[in-house]
Every structure is written in C-alpha cells, then in structure tokens.
Amino acid sequence: MPVAAGCAHDGGAASGSSGRTAGDDDRSTQAAAPSSATRITPVTGTPRTVPAVRSFTARGGPGWRPSSAVRVVTDTDGPLADEARLLAGELKVTIAPGPARAGDVELALRPGQRGGPESYELTTRDGRVLITAPDEAGVFYGTRTLVQSVRSGGGVPEGVIADAPDRPQRGLHLDIARKHFTAEWIEARLREMADLKLNQLGLHFSDDQGFRIESASHPEIVSPEHLTKAEVRRIVALATSLHITVIPEIDSPGHLGAVLKAHPDLQLRDATGTPSRGAVDISLPGAAGIVDDLLREFTPLFPGPYWHLGSDEYRALMARDPQGSYPHLADLARQRYGSQGRVQDLATAWLNDRAAVVRSLGKKAKAWNDGFFRGGLVAPDQAIEVEYWTGRELGARDPQEYLNEGRTVVNLNDQYLYYVLGEPNEFRYPTGELIYKEWSPAVLRGTAPVAAGTADPRRVPGGRFAVWCDHPDAQTPDQVANGIRLPLAAVAQRLWDPRPPKLPWQDFTALYTAVRGG
C-alpha cells in the first residue's frame, strides 16, 4: 500500500524525515529536493478516484510520487492552512510557506478561476503538484483527488485535472432520532463523506421514538441517550473543516411523539377521540409555540444555510376524509379561509409559518414532498425546497408537478436512496450497484427520469442517501456503517457526474476499496 494509505484526517502534519514541523523555515535543515534519479518509476495512465475526475489532459513526463522530502506548500497562516495540515498528515510530510520546489505539493486560491466554488485544477508538472481553485472547498477536493490517486496508483500522472461537481448538494441524511448514534460514529461518517467529496449531512434528531440533542428550552422532551450540545458543536466543527454543511431537521406537525410524551395535551385526536400517533394538534397555539421554541434554540447551533422542517406524514392528511375525520380542524379551516377552506390549508399555513421562523433566523427551509399539496387556498412558500422522497403516500404527487411549478427539488428517491433498518413496508436495503447503474439526479420517483430538460442542476440541485432507523435494533452501528459504504460511494459518483459511469461495477468496488485508506 502507498505511503498515504494510513487513516485519513489524523489531525495534522506528521514529521518528515528531517524531524521539522509545520511552519519551520525551509532554508536551513529541510531535506533536499528529491533528484530525478530517485524517481525511477513514472506514474502513468488516468487518475483513479471515487468519484472519477471529469477531465484529465495527459502530458509527457514522470508524474509525481510522494517521498519524505515532499512538502505541502501554502501560506501557513492563510485560508488554506487547515487543508495543508490535513494533507501533510495524510502524506506524512511537513508543510512550509514556500516557495515551492521540485517534489512539493502547492495549494493556492485563484479568485475568478472558472468552474464554480467547488471546482479545482490539479496540475502535475516538473516533479511538483499545484492545486488551485476559486474557493477553499475546491482546493480541498483537489487534495482528496491527490490522496486517492496515491492510494490507487502510487502518485499522480503528468498533466492537468480539471474537475467540478455537476450538483451542488451531495450528501447523507441520518436518522439519529429513532436510533442513537455516538458523536464518534457520526464523525467517522463525516470523514468518509469528505473523501467522497460529499458536502451535506442531514441530521433528523426528533421523531416519535426520541429527541436526541440536549435542550435548555424543553429539557423534558430529551431522550436519555442523546448528544450534548458540546458534542454537536464538535460534529459541526469537524464538518465545517471538511466543507460539509450539517442540515438539522425537527419534523412537524407529525413525527413529534417524543415531544407529545411530555406534552400529551398537544396531541391531535380524531372525531372519536382516538389519538393520532406522533401528530400535534395544529389548532392549538401551544403546539406552534413549543416547535418554534425549539427552532429558535437550535438554529444557532447549526451555522449552515439550511433548516429541514419535515412536514411529512401528518396523520390528519393521511386520512381518506380529513374533513370528516378531524371536524374541529375542518371548522377552523373554514373560519380562517372561508367556506372552501380545508385541513390541508391549515397544514400548509403551519409549514409556511415555520419557514418564516427559520427565515427570520437566516435559514433556507426544506420540507418533504408530501407536505406540499395541489390546489388549496393556501400555497406553500415558493422558497421552500422540496425534498422528494416518495410516491407511495395517499395522494402523492409526481415530482414533475413540483418542477412544473418552478420549485427546486432535491432527490431522496426511496426506491434507491432509502436504507431503512429492518426493511419494513416493503423497503429493501438499497444496493450500490443499482444506484450506480440505474439512478441519476433526474430519477426522482421510482425508476423513470423526469422529462428531459427539467432536471438541470439549478432545478434539481442534488440529492442525499438516507438512513432511517424504523427498527433501530435491526442493525448495529457498525453494520449500518458497513451497509451504506458502497451505496454512498455510488451516490457520490452519480452526483459528481450523472453520466453513465465508465467503470464496470466490479472495477468500481475494487477501486473504492483501494482509495478508502484506513
């Protein structure tokens, strides 16, 4: 295994053969640059990475291989210092302020470089590597390409890699409400995601079975097994350093069983007085009050731009006759919106009100597709991103409808991207092979893509692979981690480049094993 095959992200630069540390003046005791005689075997072929690079222009030359004399060169007090320290630790070399010399890897920002903020160019020439990008995220992804190329081929071939993701949203959605995962387990997933150039982690931390983050405003709702706020800050800090945005989710007005356990007076009941599992009664001011308390408390904990409001599977709207089954909600809808008012109008107003709360706190709202209804007197706020997961629900709308309305739709297609513990309700654990061969960002529901020309990156900005813990004891955390690795790698490939992959599946899995490292 090449020298970079040790565990990634070990927290900083290792000492080089000279025993010097990051930031030391390289003019005195640094090891001399390697001579051409020490680089016997040239690096040839195409860089082999997951996801695959989108463009490589080969040039004549020996390429680049790591050695003990290599330095990672950048401004050691500048914006790329963290990326440099991480890369140096993985290569087991030092960092230095430059200037770069033969054998070195140089990191540099180039504002205005074409390709977008996550794009990068990696140039291998004259025995050195230069990684440039318009933004820090692009440089970081360039370092991931370099490390994977070392792991899979011993180095980087001579030439220029020009690379950028096709979709700006690429990630993993994790249900930590039904099953408690430790901070360390989540951090390990973040490191794996970063190596795959994924940039979003959704955390669904409130549901019927548990509320999993410490709360000051409502400590009575918190489950015994939970993350402390200090642990969440640590998770968010690691994610930020790896250019991953954490998207928190408090689902409402359904999936609030953990809140209702402590506040049964807020429970929704049907016409017979039967409690509706997990649903708050949206006619009660106290229901909105407690949810908004939580939104305001937790928003500062997550500095990213998004907040997920859930809004799926509200029991009142899963009934075949919502007005007849929940007459007190139907009466309120008519009072507020006139004789044509319906229960769905109350639910849509609830969603819009919660979106207004998070917008006032600087967040862009997301919600599940079954929280958006056709018709009605109240329309869902156009700015809320649709997270399309299913066409199985009663009255489910085709994803094409949302696109035709001009909405932004994110892909979490439950046919391919739902890993549901225990496989209830005819779910089956998804395979990386099917994702790799059949799925693309345009395949939002079932197996068929939406209409040609309607799933461009502006309208379908990406997707996430989702882990749901309906039967939390069906798998251990280690089994979950092992079960999602290949599917997540396949998702990363198809979101980075939605074109049919060039490698056969067996070759892709072998490559992923090679580039994973420790």
Please name the fold of domain 169-516.
TIM Barrel (3.20.20)
Confidence of residue 518 (pLDDT cuts 50, 70, 90): low
pTM (predicted TM-score): 0.91
Residue by residue, DSSP assigns 161-230 as: EEE--S-SEEEEEEE-SSS---HHHHHHHHHHHHHTT--EEEEEEESSS-B-B--SS-GGG--SS-B-HH
| Catalytic residue selected from 90, 121, 313, 385 | 313
Instruction: Give the span between the Cα atoms of 443 and 449, in whole angstroms.
Output: 4
pLDDT, average across residues 161-183: 98
Q: Is the peptide bond between 99 and the residue preceding it cis, with omega within 30 degrees of 0? A: yes
445: which residues sit within 8 A by CB, 6+ positions away? 388, 390, 391, 398, 399, 413, 415
What mean pLDDT value characterizes the chain? 92
In this prediction, what percent of the chain has a pLDDT beyond 70?
92
Q: What number is the average pLDDT over the span 387-402?
A: 89
pLDDT in tens, 98-143: 899 999 999 999 999 999 999 999 999 999 999 999 999 999 999 9
pLDDT band at 189 (very low <50, low <70, confident <90, very high): very high
Q: For 55-163, give the CATH class.
A: alpha beta
H or E segment at 310? strand 306-310
Residue 40's pLDDT is what? 56
Q: What is the 3-state secondary structure (H, E, C) of 63-128?
A: CECCCCCCEEECCCCCCCHHHHHHHHHHHCCEEECCCCCCCCEEEEECCCCCCCCCCEEEEEECCE
Question: Per residue in 172-191, is it b (16+ CB within 10 Å) or e — as a string?
Answer: bbbbbbbbbbebeebbebbb
Sequence-separated (6 or more) residues with CB below 8 Å from residue 502: 52
Domains in the chain: boundaries:
55-163, 169-516
Known catalytic residue at 313 = yes
Instruction: Could you list the beta-strand ranges (E) of 314-439.
Output: 364-368, 385-388, 409-411, 418-420
Can you give the pLDDT at residue 246? 98
CA dihedral 451, 454, 456, 457 (to 10 degrees): -120
pLDDT in tens, 253-298: 999 999 999 999 999 999 999 999 999 999 999 999 999 999 999 9
Span of 22-26, 244-248, 477-481 with lowest mean pLDDT: 22-26
pLDDT tens column, 70-89 = 999 999 999 999 999 999 99
What mean pLDDT do residues 435-445 have? 98
Out of 12-21, 187-196, 223-232, 415-424, least confident range = 12-21
